[in-house]
Every structure is written in structure tokens, then in C-alpha cells.
Amino acid sequence: MEKLQAAIESARRKRAGRPEAAGVPAQTPGHPAAPVPAVAAAGNLAAEAPGQGDGASLQERWAALNPVTVDHARLGQQRVLSLSASAASAPFDVLRTKILYQMQQKGWRRLAITSPLPKCGKTTTACNLALGLSRQPELRSILFDFDLRSPAVAPMLGIAEPQPIVSLLTGQRDFAQHAHRIGPNLALALSGRAEPDPTQVLMATSTRDTLAQVQESYQPDVMIFDLPSILIGDDARAFLQHVDCALIVARADQTRYGEFDSCEREVGEYTNVLGVVLNGYRHGGGIDAQDSGA
């Protein structure tokens, strides 16, 4: 694990030209790639969304989303620990704070979460980050399950049989019909069916337009996209151009340096690398970082 940490930091220092000390924390700012257009931060929860003809306030539109409840015990079994503040949620709360600070500093809203290969914990990280953000009453967040070949957010949260997200992205259903809501300020765009060829959907103009419409109508402060792993196909590459930044989840006892290096290079070609989560890192018999196989 120490070798992976040192290798990650060495490679990233060389690319950034920064003579930093070796050793990577659980989350580390990434080198900037080609600039992505920034989006201004949204206002408060009761603000009006521009360009809406239905006369509903922003708060009313959020309140109209289908509410769902999640079971604490089930979430705990899935290593989703951030629904309420606790010692177990602390690593994810730190991650949330660091991500919010960096995104707000740059005026970014769209965050992708990916990994070099499956079983690194990216979906668990995405769910914990989203639930952690939901505890910030002044913020609105939306979590999108964009791992279309293997959607995992709904089963992880215990939400049964959501509609295919492709129906949302192709304009067959609108966001108000499709989305679920946890609490007043976290929306979920889930998928209940694996798609055989999602790349064409992720690259489609209709997907770009749908996300722009959702962003205008619901004014989320953070949009989180749980993407497929980078090295298993081209699905994530097809979509990364539409986000402001990406978080890479590597696993200390599994990810090889070459896999991480390839993943970071690939992500950096399309968007800004916001940071790295070193998952499954055990220190002194305890768990220092998020530990999950999702």
C-alpha cells in the first residue's frame, strides 16, 4: 500500500511540477486538465428558477419529487454511513468538505466519480458523498447513476425497481416523473435496468440537453455522476466531457500503480482531476479510509 501511495504521488508531482513530500492522503487535489466551463453557484432553496413556465417555485419543484425513505440498518450493511453524523461517517464528511471547498472556489457543479477498475468503492463513495451533502440544509444535490451497464445505486440504497434512466436521457420522461428524493434537498436519478450499449446514450445530444434542463430547472449546487470504471470500456470517456471535474477512487489492496496512472491520464484528457480517494487503507488495525467493494 505504501508503494502505491508513493508511486501515485511521485507521478502526480512530475506532471504538476510540484516538489511536494511523498505520501498521498485519502483525498488529494489533482492536476488541472483542459479547462471546463464553470457554472455559477445556485442561490438558496426558496429561489426561483429562471425560464420556467409552470409558475412553480424552485422549492415547490423539489418538494414535488417522489420522496423515498432509506433504512439505516441496510445502509450500514452496504457501508453507506453518511445519512447521519457519526464517527463512522467522519472520513466521508472530510471528503465532502474538501470537495465542496474546491468546487465552490472554481465555480464547478458537475462531479464525476470513477475508478481504474471495478470493486474499488466508487459507488459507495458516491452514495456516501451524496448523503453527506444532504445533511447540508443550504445545499441541493443530485446523484445520477450513470454506470448504465451495471447500475448499483438503487440496490445499494434499497430503492426497488426504478425506471430505466435512458427514458429520462432520451426525453421520454421528464425529471419530475423519474427522480426520487431523500429529505428536502437530495434528488436521485436512478436506473433499474442494465443497458447493452450505453455509449451512444451518453454521447447523445439529448443527454446533454436533458442535463442542462435539469440544471436550469432544479438549480443543484452539486451534481454527482457515478460513472463506470475507466479501464473496462469507453462509457465513462463518452461522458467525462460533460462534467467540470472527476474524483478517482483507487483501492490500496487492489489497484496497481500502472492501472491508476492510466486512469488518471485518461480522465485528465477530458476533464479536471479533482482528487484521489485511496480506499481500503488500513492503518494500525483500524480503517483509515473508506472500505468497500462496490
What pLDDT score was predicted for residue 240? 97
Q: How many CA atoms lie within 13 A of 99 on its CB side?
A: 33
What pLDDT score was predicted for residue 221? 98
Other C-beta atoms lying within 10 Å of the C-beta of residue 202: 25
The closest alpha carbon to 66, from 176, 189, 191, 171, belongs to 176
Quick one: CA dihedral 94, 100, 103, 108, positive or negative? Answer: positive
Tens of pLDDT along the chain (294 residues) come to: 555 666 566 656 655 554 433 333 344 434 444 444 434 333 444 444 444 445 689 999 999 999 999 999 999 999 999 999 999 999 999 999 999 999 999 999 999 999 999 999 999 999 999 999 999 999 999 999 999 999 999 999 999 989 999 999 999 999 999 999 999 999 999 998 899 999 999 999 999 999 999 999 999 999 999 999 999 999 999 999 999 999 999 999 899 999 999 999 999 999 999 999 998 877 654 444 444 444
d(CA 75, CA 222): 22
Alpha-carbon radius of gyration of the chain: 18
Q: Are 231 and 116 in contact (CB under 8 A)?
A: yes
What pLDDT score was predicted for residue 17? 54
Which domains does the chain carry?
26-287 (3.40.50.300)
DSSP 121: S
What pLDDT score was predicted for residue 86? 94
What pLDDT score was predicted for residue 36? 40
d(CA 24, CA 273): 15
pTM above 0.85, yes or no: no
What pLDDT score was predicted for residue 43? 40
What pLDDT score was predicted for residue 282? 74
Other C-beta atoms lying within 10 Å of the C-beta of residue 181: 18
Q: Which three cell numbers stand for residue 66?
A: 417522489
d(CA 183, CA 222): 16
